[in-house]
Structure 1
Amino acid sequence: MSIVAIILIALGVSAAITFTRTPMYESKTQIFLTVDVRDTTDAYAALLFASNRAASYATVVKSTELAEIVKDQLNLKESAEVLASRVDAEVVDTTSLIQITVKAKNPRDAETIADRTTKEFIKYVGGLETPGGDLGGQSQILAQITDNASYNPNQVSPDVALNLVVAGLIGILLGIGLAIARELLDRTIRTADHVAELTESPVLASIGFDNDIRSAPLLTDLGGFAARTEAFRLLRTNLQFIDLDHQPRCLVITSAVPGEGKTMTSTNLAVALAQTGRNTLIIDADLRRPRVASTLGLDPAVGLTTALVGKTEIHDAIQVHEASGLHVLASGAKPPNPTEILQSKITHDLILRLRSSYDMVIIDAPPLLPVADASVLAKLADGVIIVVRHARTTKDQVNEAINRLNHVGARLYGVVVNMVAKRAIGSYYYYYYEETSPSGRGDKSGSSKSNGSGRRRA
């Protein structure tokens, strides 16, 4: 979730709370406490006495007992406890002045309650300070109103502007905090640097996310200048520089886990190779969840397994995709033991035979982590390309997949990052363009950085 989204949520919550609360208005009044003395020598002592008393009387103003008196005088419906909660009093620093603040649902009620509270408080003080509690006597403390109850037509709560500003600041802080936390805790592949942390093999291509992938899955369904077409042209070109001394003729395309788009990648790479006139074969070796034939609109029933068990000759099992000229060996019938079939010598011999008959053989293999099939096939090919899904495949998954390839001695040619968000597509270009020079290790000094995207057409 972006920082902007979090800010908007915070503002929305604040606005909802603010505009559903009852507006409150306030009225203020002020009382001065003094001691009646005739001898000026006692004036200073009397001032100290009144100041000390002020703190105590500020508490009395907020008492339930005084609120009960005001409630009865004004015939208010609310309880004395609720009324007392809306009354506040504080002593002005270094004085014997008490400022009383009363809140109510409308400004006129606030003024009326403040006025009555002040007058009843003066009477209350007179009773408390009369010697011996004699109400007919003379009170030692004199309370006088210095400021009458004010009338303020503007609501004091909720403070709409303040609440929204505070909510915005909280949203910003939360957004930044979550962004930092996500950056620290996120273990998914998001940039070329993340790939570089796991392997020295290059990022061969980054393929952007395409909403039209379901309706137009193949390069033959797209225009010549579509972004996805350009990405596979780049992948096709970069394959030429993987190993100049020993050009690969058989590649396994796999992924760490399901759902990374490895079948679509292997199929379109094979189509891109066939479009250049190269004699290209794609083998659907995912015997558990075969999809190559259905993606190309061909018959999946006859293929690899039917040829292996001798139900059909291999040349009869291979179909041709008319739009591209690609040769396709579908998976055939699903066997109960896919791994054992792929490990068999007859499968090994068949792949050796096919690679000698084609310029390029692409093998679509199952994911590496769930099953061992891809590791078995990797030993039969020149090398492996791993497809990872941007912001979905984790570093741990890719690292484990690479470890499995290393364990069987397979060669990892590179990584294809699939379904890359448009805003992140540029984060991969510099790396794979830098890393795919004829030396196979990259040339950082050339003009490969100049065009920004790093795209080249075959």
Structure 2
Amino acid sequence: MDDLLQQPDAPPEASSARSGRNMFQVFWQHRGLLLLGLVAGLVLGGLSFSRRQPVYRAYAQVLVVKKQSIGSLIGDRNDPNRTLVDDYIGSHLLVIRSPLLIEEAVRKRDLGSLRSLQGGHAAVIIQAGLRAEREVNKDAPVGASSNIINLSYSGSDPGDCEIVINAIIESYKDFLDRTYKTTAESTFELVQEEARKLTKQLKEKDDAYAKFRQDKNLLTTADGLPFNETKIQEYVRREAVKRDDAKELRDRLASVRKAISENKPLPLILALAEKKYDRDAPVAKANVAGAAALEAALFPLQQQESDLTQFYGEDHPDVQRIRRKIEATKVFYKGLDAIVAEVKGPNEQSPAQAAVNALEIELVLAEGNHQYAKSVLEEEVKQAKSQEGLHATDKQYREDIKRTTVWLDGILKRLQEVDTSRGSGGFNAQAIAPPGPGLKVSPVLWQFIFIGSALGLALGAGGAYLLDMADKSFRTPEEIRRRLGLALIGHVPFVHKPSSPVTVTDAAGNSVELDSGLATVHSATSPEAEAYRGVRTALFFSTHGERHKVIQVTSPHMGDGKTTLIINLAVSIAQAGRKVLLLDADLRRPRVHRAFGLTSRVGLAEVLTGAAELDEAVQVTAIPNLSVLPCGRRPGNPAELLTSPAFEDVLDDLRAAYDYVLVDSPPLLAVSDPCVVAPRVDGLILTLRVTKNGRPAAERARDLLIRLKVNCLGVVVNGVGKQGAMAGYGYDYYRHADDYSSPYTTADHDAHEEQGADGGLPALSPAPRPAGQGGGPVASGGPVAGANGHSRPADE
């Protein structure tokens, strides 16, 4: 049972039903709270408006024009690309609102004597109310700036606002005239002093660089790059060519030797060697190759020696280094001649051997050239690395001198401009829209009304939302359908029952007391009876006209009126001419037999245990076409009996014998019995009552039915109406769920009483009654009298 009560995965329609309520519905439900918030907001807005002090604001416009100096005009003539646009208004906006200018205006114009500025620091009050903004011209081109300033001042007196703005404009004009003259002279002196400093620094840096070049004897190109970097690149290319030549000769020599070892034809061997060689070919080739290589190696060194000697003189270290390289090169190639002489073979040689000897001589020369090129490259790289620090210092000198030169050029240009414009320039400020008396700008009634209304509605909406979140009840049947995602097949109003049991006569002429909750019998024309017939009609449509249907009726909790619904529904279907059997599967708290004045000595429990046959247990009621299979004596293992295959066999037999079989079962959330019955029936009707905090229980019941994959035909809402909406309609046995889950009883009071009457069956221990139920016996089939004099169904 515990795992069945877990929240299951609901289908999409159930999930959408569980989604939050439409906020418009929430607000409409609590529209009184929204109206109260609106009224409160309006009242508070009106009170705030009446208590606010009036605020007045005066306006003015000031045109600020920059004077053009003679120097700038000449510069414009020389440079037509120079623009006169200078966005200076941004700084002037800050100047107008600066404490310095405002303090000066207060002191010179005696603004502290104004009535609106008394009682505090006049300058602080003015700065708080003063606004300065640039005029925005929507028709101007993109990027164009306006040189008109909009001034405004807000205060408590309209006349004082005009006086304050006039004083600010006059102080602003005085500030421009006084400040520009002082600034022009100071600027010229500062720029002149900076030019002298930069000139001195540039002279010192040029001298230091010249001394550095003289001491270090660095060779650089016209761009200032190290001279040996170009030589290194040439040596790298030369070393790569020599390496490739040696590799190609090694490959050819290997191919010729392989062909000789494999006794290939002579033409093929000579073809691999590329030439036919005679006896004197190796010597001649070696001599020619050696002389050419020596000449090629000495030429660039001799050229470099000539350039260095011309630039530095005979005794310079670089000249001496090049001469040592020349001597080393000559010695190296003499060594190659000796190697070639050793490689040279005897005079009498075959053409193939002559080809091999020639290739060997070429290889020796090529490898010698490669080694020499490699040694020259390594020597040059070593020399370059040794001078890296010197070249870095040389570069830093040149860049520092270049930066200082650029700075000095800019300073000199600025000095010329300042010197030319010292006698002119500055700014002219003119009020093009003089201020007038202040206009009232605050408070505005509609703003307070709007803000108060908005705040009041927001508070009301927040309260409505919180109330809706805290409310766990169903307020309307429509809300039940929307939240549970189940069809509503009936609304049963609150039942006004007779104060005493009603007696009818059965087919045999015997008087039978029926439960006062059977409105379909006692008040056939009442709205309650019509509501039950509406449920019957919905049931007929939900079964699509099929016959032999087994319908289970249950509820989430006790007190939802499921037994009252099932007995009236059974009577309504029987009155429609259908053969109906009412099965009491509530083996813990059976009450169906009492509603029809029947006994419960033999019933479903005895049929399931094999103590009685089905025909013996079924009893005919005083209602035509309606029979009842009571519970019988309450067993000690009700859940196990309902789980047994015998129960399913009983349902199959009843399904074949009756048009409709209505099964009354305990509440879903109380015990596991209804969960055992539900999968064996053809459909299920869930009944519930609109009660406080009843929504979570109904949703849990819905989720449980979804998990069991039960065919839920719909929901019947009980107790709809003024009294029924919150009234507790039920009986004491179902007051708490733990009463249902209490330890199993082994007998009930009715069975004990009936056994004592005829002595036919062994007595069972009487079941204990809940506190407050009373200890006296209850007449078989009789109702239980309520405290208000109305009779209630004995179960719910």
TM-score, normalising length from structure 1? 0.52
Q: Which amino acid is 1:194 matched to?
A: I
- Structure 1 residue aligned with 2:481: 195
- Classify 1:221/1:182 alpha carbon distance in 2 versus 1 (closer, same or farther; 3 Å): farther
Cα deviation, residue 310, structure 1: 3.2
Aligned partner (choices 608, 611, 615) of residue 315 of structure 1: 615
Per mean C-alpha deviation after superposition, the further-off stretch among 394-403 and 222-231 is 394-403
**In structure 1, C-alpha distance between the alignment counterparts of 2:465 and 2:562, rounded to whole Å:** 31
- Structure 2 residue aligned with 1:142: none
Greater helix percent: which structure?
2
1:211-236: CA deviations, max 9, x gaps? 52474300344322211111111111
**In structure 2, C-alpha distance between the alignment counterparts of 1:5 and 1:297, rounded to whole Å:** 50
- Structure 2 residue aligned with 1:264: 564
Q: Which amino acid is 1:381 matched to?
A: V
Does residue 401 of structure 1 match 2:704? yes
Please state whether the residue corresponding to 1:207 is helix, strand or coil.
Answer: strand
Q: Which amino acid is 2:472 matched to?
A: R
- Structure 1 residue aligned with 2:715: 415
CA RMSD of aligned residues (A): 4.6
Cα deviation, residue 270, structure 1: 0.6
Does residue 212 of structure 1 match 2:512? no
Matches within 5 A, 1:353-372: 353-372=653-672
- Structure 1 residue aligned with 2:468: 183
TM-score, normalising length from structure 2? 0.31
Please state whether the residue corresponding to 2:635 is helix, strand or coil.
Answer: coil
- Structure 1 residue aligned with 2:643: 343
**In structure 2, C-alpha distance between the alignment counterparts of 1:396 and 1:350, rounded to whole Å:** 31
Cα contact 1:248–1:382 (8 A) shared by 2: no
- Classify 1:404/1:224 alpha carbon distance in 2 versus 1 (closer, same or farther; 3 Å): same
Aligned partner (choices 587, 599, 620) of residue 299 of structure 1: 599
**In structure 1, C-alpha distance between the alignment counterparts of 2:620 and 2:700, rounded to whole Å:** 35
Q: Which amino acid is 2:484 matched to?
A: L
Please state whether the residue corresponding to 2:616 is helix, strand or coil.
Answer: helix
Please state whether the residue corresponding to 1:240 is helix, strand or coil.
Answer: helix
Cα contact 2:495–2:528 (8 A) shared by 1: no
- Classify 1:332/1:423 alpha carbon distance in 2 versus 1 (closer, same or farther; 3 Å): closer
**In structure 2, C-alpha distance between the alignment counterparts of 1:319 and 1:227, rounded to whole Å:** 30
1:10-44: CA deviations, max 9, x gaps? xxxxxxxxxxxxxxxxxxxxxxxxxxxxxxxxxxx
Cα contact 2:520–2:532 (8 A) shared by 1: no
**In structure 2, C-alpha distance between the alignment counterparts of 1:403 and 1:214, rounded to whole Å:** 39
Cα deviation, residue 261, structure 1: 1.1
Aligned partner (choices 634, 648, 658) of residue 334 of structure 1: 634
Q: Which amino acid is 1:282 matched to?
A: L
**In structure 1, C-alpha distance between the alignment counterparts of 2:643 and 2:533, rounded to whole Å:** 33
- Structure 2 residue aligned with 1:281: 581
Cα deviation, residue 187, structure 1: 3.5
1:420-458: CA deviations, max 9, x gaps? 225999xxxxxxxxxxxxxxxxxxxxxxxxxxxxxxxxx
Asked which structure has the greater CA Rg, the reply is 2
Matches within 5 A, 1:14-29: none
Cα contact 2:596–2:622 (8 A) shared by 1: no
**In structure 1, C-alpha distance between the alignment counterparts of 2:643 and 2:550, rounded to whole Å:** 17
Cα deviation, residue 247, structure 1: 4.3
Cα contact 1:219–1:271 (8 A) shared by 2: no
- Structure 1 residue aligned with 2:552: 252
Cα contact 2:617–2:629 (8 A) shared by 1: yes
1:22-79: CA deviations, max 9, x gaps? xxxxxxxxxxxxxxxxxxxxxxxxxx9xx9xxx9xxxxxxxxxxxxxxxxxxxxxxxx
Please, which runs of 5 or more residues in structure 2 have no aligned partner?
A: 1-28, 34-111, 120-456, 500-515, 726-796
Cα contact 2:684–2:714 (8 A) shared by 1: yes
Q: Which amino acid is 1:370 matched to?
A: A
1:115-165: CA deviations, max 9, x gaps? xxxxxxxxxxxxxxxxxxxxxxxxxxxxxxxxxxxxxxxxxxxxxxxxxxx
- Classify 1:374/1:183 alpha carbon distance in 2 versus 1 (closer, same or farther; 3 Å): same
- Classify 1:180/1:275 alpha carbon distance in 2 versus 1 (closer, same or farther; 3 Å): same
- Classify 1:205/1:245 alpha carbon distance in 2 versus 1 (closer, same or farther; 3 Å): closer
- Classify 1:286/1:424 alpha carbon distance in 2 versus 1 (closer, same or farther; 3 Å): closer
- Classify 1:363/1:348 alpha carbon distance in 2 versus 1 (closer, same or farther; 3 Å): same
Cα contact 1:286–1:366 (8 A) shared by 2: yes
Cα deviation, residue 311, structure 1: 3.1
- Classify 1:262/1:356 alpha carbon distance in 2 versus 1 (closer, same or farther; 3 Å): same
Please, which runs of 5 or more residues in structure 1 have no aligned partner?
A: 7-47, 56-171, 426-458
- Classify 1:299/1:423 alpha carbon distance in 2 versus 1 (closer, same or farther; 3 Å): closer
Cα deviation, residue 271, structure 1: 0.9
**In structure 2, C-alpha distance between the alignment counterparts of 1:386 and 1:263, rounded to whole Å:** 11
Matches within 5 A, 1:420-431: 420-422=720-722
Cα contact 1:254–1:366 (8 A) shared by 2: yes
Q: Which amino acid is 2:705 matched to?
A: I
Cα deviation, residue 370, structure 1: 2.4
Does residue 239 of structure 1 match 2:528? no
Cα contact 2:574–2:623 (8 A) shared by 1: no
- Classify 1:393/1:315 alpha carbon distance in 2 versus 1 (closer, same or farther; 3 Å): farther
Please state whether the residue corresponding to 2:469 is helix, strand or coil.
Answer: helix
Cα deviation, residue 262, structure 1: 1.0
How many residue pairs end up in the alignment?
A: 292
Q: Which amino acid is 1:401 matched to?
A: L
Please state whether the residue corresponding to 1:241 is helix, strand or coil.
Answer: helix
- Classify 1:3/1:321 alpha carbon distance in 2 versus 1 (closer, same or farther; 3 Å): same
Cα contact 2:688–2:717 (8 A) shared by 1: yes
Please state whether the residue corresponding to 1:301 is helix, strand or coil.
Answer: coil
- Structure 2 residue aligned with 1:373: 673
Matches within 5 A, 1:380-391: 380-391=680-691
**In structure 2, C-alpha distance between the alignment counterparts of 1:305 and 1:185, rounded to whole Å:** 44
Cα contact 1:368–1:404 (8 A) shared by 2: no
Per mean C-alpha deviation after superposition, the further-off stretch among 416-425 and 386-395 is 416-425
**In structure 2, C-alpha distance between the alignment counterparts of 1:411 and 1:399, rounded to whole Å:** 11
Q: Which amino acid is 2:687 matched to?
A: V
Per mean C-alpha deviation after superposition, the further-off stretch among 316-325 and 349-358 is 316-325
Q: Which amino acid is 1:304 matched to?
A: L
- Structure 2 residue aligned with 1:134: none
1:258-306: CA deviations, max 9, x gaps? 2211111111111111112211000010111112112222223321112
Q: Which amino acid is 1:330 matched to?
A: P
Cα deviation, residue 378, structure 1: 1.5
